[in-house]
Amino acid sequence: MSDHSDGHVRFELTGNIAEIILDRPQKHNALTPEMYRQIADSCREANETAAAHAVIVRGAGTRAFCAGSDIKALEGYEDFWAWRNRSDYIPPLLEMRKPSIAAVKGWALGGGLEIALACDLRVVATSSVFAAPEVALGWNGAGGAAQHLTRMCGYGFAMKYLLTGDRFTAQEADRAGMIEWLVEDGEEVSKAQEVAAKIAHHSTVATQAVKSSVRRAMDLTTRQGLQNENELMSLCFAKRELAKLMAL
């Protein structure tokens, strides 16, 4: 097991499974600008670590996955331009080549909801609570909640919770199609590890090809998507052929 600790975000590798851990439990893992950079660095480390075949994203402590951005920390931006050009954490999560699984417990609010939505799969404890409260603060979320909730759960569901800022339960999220595994409290990490181990058992070329195919399916036409899938499958075959040649 390797452990890289950098401030309030930890990167750990156990076997073929990496974990990105938001580690500020005394503040419910609320995000600071420095944590934005650390999450991006951890995503790059996951991509560059050949042994990492799957990635779990979780929060430390017992009460929260992530309570969103620390509002007080946001006051540190000099002006709107500094905010616009900040180091962001959602694009690195979306661009991570390895399959990612969010293990969610407790609060997943604002940026915490966005992190969970940016992962490929979600394992969620039954008592978890979600919300996009930004509208009540006078702004909209900028980390993909509108994009992902609309695609996963539909227009009405996205509008309902993004316009009101109301909280919604894990059960509501599950019925809307936002959750892949709904588990008892305390089982979210072990279930995420079980799923990650199954994914990690497969060829890394195959799992990354599948992830690329599905991600791009949301942006391409059907014809373009089929062409993309064919090219990726060719790469998988090329790896198999190379493995045979190396075995000679």
Across 66-74, average pLDDT: 84
Least confident piece of the model among 43-57, 98-112, 203-217:
203-217
Percent of the chain with pLDDT over 90: 74
Higher pLDDT, 246 or 192: 192
Whether the Cβ atoms of residue 96 and residue 43 lie closer than 8 Å to each other:
yes
Mean pLDDT over the full length of the chain: 91
Q: What is the pLDDT of residue 232?
A: 87
Q: What is the pLDDT of residue 185?
A: 98
Across 40-69, average pLDDT: 97
Residue 229 binned pLDDT confidence (cut-offs 50, 70, 90) = confident
Whole-prediction pTM value? 0.90
pLDDT at 2 exceeding the cut of 60: no
pLDDT at 139 exceeding the cut of 90: no
Q: What is the pLDDT of residue 163?
A: 97
Higher pLDDT, 160 or 71: 160
Residue 151 binned pLDDT confidence (cut-offs 50, 70, 90) = very high
pLDDT at 75 exceeding the cut of 90: no
pLDDT at 220 exceeding the cut of 70: yes
pLDDT at 4 exceeding the cut of 80: no
Across 45-49, average pLDDT: 97
Q: What is the pLDDT of residue 72?
A: 77
Q: What is the pLDDT of residue 231?
A: 85
pLDDT at 63 exceeding the cut of 70: yes
